[in-house]
Amino acid sequence: MADSRPQVSVIMASRNAAAYLPLAIRAVLAQTLTDLELIIIDDASEDDSWAVIRAAVAADPRIRAQRRSHSGGPAIARNDALALARGEWVAICDSDDSQHPRRLEMMLNAARDLAADVVADDMILFSGQPMARGATILGRHAPKAARMLNLKDLVLSGVDPEGISHIGYLKPLIKRCFLNDLRYDPRLRIGEDHDLYLRLVLAGAKMWVLPMAAYLYRRHVASTSYRNVPRDLTAQMGVLDNLVQQQARADLAELAHVRRRALLRRHAQLELARDVRVGRLGRALRRAVMRPDHLPWLASVLRNRMELKVQAAASRLWRRPQRWRLGGRSDGAGGVTLPMDADGALDLSAAAAPVWARMCCEASRREVEAEAVDALGQSALWMVPTVRTLAVGASDVANGTRARGSACAMAGSAGSERVAVESSGDQQQNAGRDDTDG
């Protein structure tokens, strides 16, 4: 490793993630693409994270780590990791998430077949707490064929109902030479990912979203992405305004104007939600009277919270534990039919994502014991991280998985020259969901 550059540098910023780091690290080290390095930056954690990281470094020479003396936030921690990255490609992973062992190899092959500078896949939500429903980050907007994003897709992510929402949540594979001097903006605590991807596309990078979902995205109360506050939106608007001034492009200015209006609306919504949360009901009522268009949004927030509370109560009261038998066949008690691709390997395509999302949702609602009866079952354990494994441990899964290298399968075609590229207008509507974080 010291004398050669790895194909992929995986960068991971971590703060107070001691409970989640073992899985995140194991998922990287289990990749079928073994020519990689894992760079972990501990952002002055106050728990046992650094001890966990040091133990991992001692166990595998592919891991490099640094600890910051004071917390600078995810943008600064990731910039520290980028400064250390030596790989031809850079993969972004969070310290509380996971991924399937075949993911990076599949993405790298897809990037090469598509001549892409950036590739990303959909993300399956999982949690240790009851979830209201199974879902992926892209949801109905997940492409059925590989799709190259344009400037409009990036700027209006979460704003245009016909576009792709949540682009900023994606954890892509990026060609390192294309980053050049581009780094995460330290002024942003939330939305720093979306800002970087936007600037990559403005610099000419070809960013593709693949029809696959092999990244597992953990939802929990401490997640930064779900703790947006008004000042975060203010920072995002300031960064966007600066970008428009620097670029001096009419098309960007026009799109940014639309996005800025959405950010302002979202800012007012967050102020209303904050008043409700801290008990300033009179002030919240005055805001609602002045902006009645915010009431449907507030109602949806309250409804979602109520669903989660009901689901948690139901899980405690009458949800019985389950035992799953995972394998190529679902015979016998507790047998679960696993989606397989044309080659007989575990299906990680967008078409199979709803199956994994439902299983993750079920595993969040009740105690699930899972027994892997064959290599396919062992591979499937990675897609449902919260189950309790009875047979082969998740860390051993890579030994039983088959790496399928064809990026053309991910592109939905028999050859890279036939990759289907969709336009923004072909996407389904987003049912009015306002996701201005990108």
With a cut of 50, say whether residue 409 has pLDDT above it.
Answer: no
Q: Which domains does the chain have, with CATH numbers?
A: 8-223 (3.90.550.10), 230-316 (no CATH), 320-402 (no CATH)
Where does the pLDDT of residue 335 fall: very low under 50, low under 70, confident under 90, or very high at 90 and above? confident
Question: Locate tokens 């030479």: which residue?
Answer: 177
| Residue 38 bridge partners (DSSP) | 10, 63
Where does the pLDDT of residue 321 fall: very low under 50, low under 70, confident under 90, or very high at 90 and above? confident
| Residue 90 bridge partners (DSSP) | 9, 174
Amino acid at residue number 49:
S
Where does the pLDDT of residue 406 fall: very low under 50, low under 70, confident under 90, or very high at 90 and above? very low
Torsion of CA 422, 159, 200, 415, to 10 degrees: -10
> Which residue would you say has higher pLDDT here, 314 or 154?
154
**Among 346, 50, 311, which residue's Cα sits nearest to residue 214?**
346
**Among 156, 116, 391, which residue's Cα sits nearest to residue 261?**
156
**Among 24, 2, 23, 22, which residue's Cα sits nearest to residue 10?**
24
DSSP 349: B
| Residue 120 bridge partners (DSSP) | 209
Instruction: Output the pTM of the full model.
Output: 0.82
> pLDDT tens-digit profile of 79-121?
999 999 999 999 999 999 999 999 999 999 999 999 999 999 9
Q: Identify how many contiguous H helices and E strands the chain contains and give both numbers.
A: 14, 13
